């Protein structure tokens, strides 16, 4: 993996985020092409840009043209090895994506965490990569029976066929290595900046209780790991950004704001499109963002847009 460091101007304005832009879909690709310029602002791309290097190039070229600084963390779709595409698999596919990001000056989980000095700062922007380990499951379901349990309700992630864990034996093993890696990186940043809050960005939700899938509840298996359940507390997170669920929501837990910022497949933002809204309206303001509520807790806010 290339060790060259991104050279980007650090913003003084606002920080925005969006996930799951899935530009393989023509409607999403057209919507992304209409991203407006945000001089002085930063953007977090929180995974699931697309499946190919060409998807990444298109997304990064547009994002870096419109925002002063861009951060990216991978989703499951970036890690796919398609039957008709490149044969690069697993960790090597991730490394290839990191190299593409660096060509555009996009910060990745492999780069040093940056201190945000713009509006709502100072804070440490920490994009991470954890994957999942099937631990988001009922207590009575064993690890061995987890995927068969999901199949009972005709639920199975495409990851089971396209997301390979090479060189690790399983995705659970890869997840464990990643959790250890980014746990250590967050600890080191906390030791270096003990008084600063974190903005943690990870494609998969950090907490099981933030996954609500009304129509496909057993898809929860592929939505994260219980190993990260208390990271927002351990690392003094001001905001945790995630995607993956294609259900935009804001939650407050102990004074920490959790933001699910997905665009999703075209059907997931059709109501916005019907109102002539697109990615510019769905972009979520992370910093400075809303004031922390009294007591640090609020009921879930389900968001149609922004």
What angle separates helix 26-33 from helix 53-66, to the nearest 10 degrees?
Answer: 20
Per-residue confidence (pLDDT) for residue 85, from 0 to 100:
76
* Residue-wise DSSP of 44-105: EE-S---SSHHHHHHHHHHHHHHEEEEEE---TGGG---TTS----HHHHHHHHHHHHHHTT
* Residue 2 in domain: no
Helix (H, G, I), strand (E, B) or coil at 212: coil
Token representation of residue 127: 């994009």
* Residue 62 in domain: yes
Rounded Cα distance between 155 and 132, Å, is 16
* Residue 5 in domain: no
Judged against a pLDDT cut of 60, whether residue 6 lies above it is answered with no
Helix (H, G, I), strand (E, B) or coil at 290: coil
Instruction: Find the length of the chain.
Output: 306
Per-residue confidence (pLDDT) for residue 261, from 0 to 100:
98
User: Could you report the per-residue pLDDT of 128-162, keeping only the tens digit for each?
Assistant: 999 999 999 999 999 999 999 999 999 999 999 99
Give 65's contacts (C-beta < 8 A, 6+ positions apart).
Answer: 37
User: Could you report the per-residue pLDDT of 198-232, keeping only the tens digit for each?
Assistant: 999 999 999 999 999 999 999 999 999 999 999 99
Judged against a pLDDT cut of 70, whether residue 241 lies above it is answered with yes
Give the Cβ contact number of residue 247 at 10 Å: 16
Judged against a pLDDT cut of 90, whether residue 86 lies above it is answered with no
Per-residue confidence (pLDDT) for residue 8, from 0 to 100:
61
**Could you tell me the pLDDT band of residue 84, with boundaries at 50, 70 and 90?**
confident
CATH number of the domain to which 53 belongs: 3.60.21.10
Report the percentage of the chain scoring pLDDT > 70.
97
* Residue 166 in domain: yes
Judged against a pLDDT cut of 70, whether residue 48 lies above it is answered with yes
* Residue 248 in domain: yes
Mean pLDDT of 78-88: 91
Question: Does the predicted model carry a pTM greater than 0.75?
Answer: yes
**H or E stretch covering 242:** strand 237-242
Judged against a pLDDT cut of 60, whether residue 272 lies above it is answered with yes
* Residue 151 in domain: yes
Whether residue 90 contacts residue 165, with contact meaning beta carbons closer than 8 Å, is answered with yes
* Residue 225 in domain: yes
Number of domains in the chain: 1
Look up residue 301 and give its DSSP letter.
Answer: E
Look up the domain containing 114 and give its range: 15-302
* Residue 176 in domain: yes
Write down the mean pLDDT value for the chain.
95
Mean pLDDT of 54-77: 98
**9 or 261, which is more confident:** 261
């Amino acid at each position: 993996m290339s060790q060259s460091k991104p050279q980007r101007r650090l913003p003084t304005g606002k920080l925005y985020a969006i996930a799951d832009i899935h530009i393989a879909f023509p409607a999403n690709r057209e919507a992304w092409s209409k991203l407006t310029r945000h001089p002085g602002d930063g953007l977090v791309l929180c995974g699931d840009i697309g499946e190919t290097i060409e998807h990444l190039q298109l997304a990064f070229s547009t994002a870096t043209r419109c925002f002063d600084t861009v951060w990216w963390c991978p989703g499951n779709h970036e890690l796919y090895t398609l039957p008709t595409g490149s044969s690069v698999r697993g960790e090597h596919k991730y490394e290839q994506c990191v190299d593409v990001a660096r060509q555009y000056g996009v910060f990745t989980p492999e780069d040093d965490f940056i201190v945000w000095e713009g509006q709502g700062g100072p804070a440490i922007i920490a994009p991470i990569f954890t994957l999942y380990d099937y631990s988001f499951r009922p207590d009575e379901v064993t690890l061995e029976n987890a995927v068969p349990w999901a199949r009972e309700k005709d639920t199975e992630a495409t990851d089971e066929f396209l997301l390979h864990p090479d060189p690790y034996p399983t995705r659970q093993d890869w997840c464990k290595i990643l959790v250890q890696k980014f746990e250590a990186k967050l600890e080191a940043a906390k030791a270096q900046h003990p008084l600063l809050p974190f903005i943690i960005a990870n494609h998969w939700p950090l907490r099981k209780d933030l996954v609500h899938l009304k129509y496909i509840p057993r898809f929860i298996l592929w939505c994260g790991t219980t190993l990260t359940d208390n990271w927002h507390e351990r690392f003094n997170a001001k905001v945790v950004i995630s995607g993956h669920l294609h259900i935009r929501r804001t939650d407050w837990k102990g004074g920490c704001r959790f933001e699910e910022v997905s665009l999703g497949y075209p059907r997931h933002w059709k109501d916005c499109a019907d109102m002539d809204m697109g990615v510019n309206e769905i972009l979520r303001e992370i910093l400075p963002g809303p004031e922390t509520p009294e007591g640090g807790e609020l009921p879930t806010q389900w968001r149609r847009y922004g």
